[in-house]
């Protein structure tokens, strides 16, 4: 197992006392997004580039392990094409991330399914959890102390990247509760609370891009808090997210905007999952031929929108104050249809100033046989043609976006509730709480 003694910024354990401050109101809950559940807690990476040893990341009951690796395609992805590869997983011991960082991973995203698996299947959380519950913490409060420690420790590991890039990379994301998806002010309060208790410069507070929470993005950005805007499924909502970021920067009153950053998490594979079903209902040869093409086509057009919005007089005025572009982050990059290539939602979306967050399968596949080259705008006319062809067949892009958003929020709520149930079960198994 890698040792944290080699790190320039060693991890400082989170003290169990004093405990985290209580959220601003009892109605404010905080949580993580839930989809993209991992098929396995292990990641074994084979690369076309020779490695000193295979890379193994294991959420271990008794300490974890991992092998150091040499240069991989992830380094080329960032250095040659300007895309940051992030990892969609987090568990204890967080030092298991060290081999991944050495292999080129530059940030981390997490979700309730990941924490549910980590906490419910590992003994690594037991001591802290026992102390918290015996100290009088309720299940949800105890959950947040567990999560905040992991987020803080992960932030410490990625802080050297954050420093080297002057705040441009090296972030760890944690999301406000999906229960707040329709609560504008509650989301702002939750983001402020979470930002305060994590207290790390390289934490991203994740806010869903629902109609109610887009205004929250503006308010949180205006407070100088960096944000990962998640659950973006359509071009129209993506444009609204960009405007919220720009509005927030302008409203901040800050003379130096360089430390307020953001990413916009544009979901990919789930778009094909829904559109493919609609195309199969249509059933014509033309419709069936467009299966597996909608998501990347829309993503390519999102990149065009990104380039357009982050240029011109308005943006240049913000640049003079140190503003940084809100990078596009490709989320939901795992392949849901086994008939599709396993790098379908990674390799065609390589472009500058972007992020690709990958769960185990996608990361392993890309390191193993992914190719590095600018692809996101290699054939914009084809993407426009696919987008229009789908419309002509009766695919309503606004319906696709709103339906996926509803499904995403609902799924995240269920996962958060399930996570708390898992913790209750763990408390019961440790004989800490009487039913």
List the catalytic residues: 206
CA dihedral (405, 410, 415, 420) positive or negative: positive
DSSP 151-203: HHHHHHHHHHHHHHTTSSS--EEEEB-GGGTT-HHHHHHHHHHHHHHH--TTE
Residues 328 and 262: their CA atoms lie apart, in Å, by: 9
Q: How far apart are CA 378 and CA 366, in angstroms?
A: 19
How many CA atoms are closer than 13 Å to the CA of 223, on its beta-carbon side?
Answer: 17
Checking DSSP bridges between strand 203-208 and strand 172-175, what pairing results, if any?
parallel
Query: How far is the C-alpha of 267 from the C-alpha of 198, rounded, in Å?
Result: 26
Residues 130, 127: Cα–Cα separation, whole Å: 5
**Could you tell me if 88 and 147 are in contact, meaning their C-beta atoms sit under 8 angstroms apart?**
no
> Residue with structure tokens 């914009």?
380
Residue 285: C-alpha distances to residues 13, 181, 281, 384 (Å): 59, 39, 12, 20
Q: Residue 351, Cα to own-chain centre: how many angstroms? A: 18
Q: What is the separation of C-alpha 1 from the centre of its chain, rounded to a whole number of angstroms? A: 26
d(Cα 363, Cα 333) in Å, to the nearest integer? 9
Q: Degrees (nearest 5) of the Cα angle 140, 270, 248?
A: 65
């Amino acid at each position: 197992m890698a040792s944290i003694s080699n790190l320039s910024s060693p991890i400082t354990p989170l003290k169990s006392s004093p405990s985290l401050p209580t959220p601003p109101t009892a109605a404010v809950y905080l949580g993580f997004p839930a989809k993209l559940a991992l098929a396995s807690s292990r990641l074994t990476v084979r690369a076309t580039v020779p490695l000193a040893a295979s890379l193994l990341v294991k959420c271990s009951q008794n300490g974890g392990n991992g092998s150091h690796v040499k240069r991989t395609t992830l380094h080329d992805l960032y250095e040659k094409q300007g895309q940051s590869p992030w990892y969609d997983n987090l568990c204890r011991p967080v030092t298991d991330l060290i081999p991944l960082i050495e292999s080129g991973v530059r940030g981390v995203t997490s979700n309730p399914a990941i924490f549910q698996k980590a906490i419910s299947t590992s003994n690594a959380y037991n001591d802290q959890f026992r102390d918290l519950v015996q100290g009088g913490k309720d299940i949800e409060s105890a959950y947040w102390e567990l999560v905040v420690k992991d987020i803080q420790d992960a932030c410490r590991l990625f802080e050297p990247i954050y420093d080297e890039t002057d705040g441009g990379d090296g972030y760890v994301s944690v999301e406000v509760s999906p229960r707040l998806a329709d609560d504008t002010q509650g989301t702002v309060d939750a983001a402020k609370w979470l930002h305060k208790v994590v207290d790390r410069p390289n934490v991203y507070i994740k806010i869903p891009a629902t109609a109610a929470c887009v205004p929250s993005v503006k308010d949180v950005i205006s407070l100088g808090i960096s944000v990962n805007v998640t659950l973006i499924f359509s071009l129209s909502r993506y444009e609204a997210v960009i405007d919220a970021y720009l509005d927030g920067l302008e409203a901040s009153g800050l003379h130096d905007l360089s430390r307020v950053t953001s990413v916009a998490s544009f979901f990919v594979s789930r778009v094909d999952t829904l559109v493919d079903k609609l195309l199969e209902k249509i059933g014509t040869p033309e419709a069936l031929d467009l299966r597996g093409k909608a998501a990347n086509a829309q993503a390519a057009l999102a990149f065009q929108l990104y380039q357009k919005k982050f240029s011109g007089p308005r943006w240049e005025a913000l640049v003079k104050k140190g503003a940084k572009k809100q990078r596009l982050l490709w989320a939901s990059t795992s392949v849901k249809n086994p008939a599709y290539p396993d790098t379908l939602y990674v390799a065609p979306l390589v472009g500058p100033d972007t992020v690709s967050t990958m769960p185990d399968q996608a990361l392993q596949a890309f390191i193993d046989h992914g190719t590095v080259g600018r692809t996101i705008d290699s054939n914009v006319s084809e993407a426009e043609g696919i987008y229009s062809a789908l419309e002509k067949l009766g695919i309503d892009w606004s319906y696709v976006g709103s339906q996926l958003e509803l499904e995403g929020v609902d799924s995240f709520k269920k996962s958060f509730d399930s996570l708390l149930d898992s913790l209750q079960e763990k408390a019961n198994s440790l004989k800490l709480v009487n039913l």
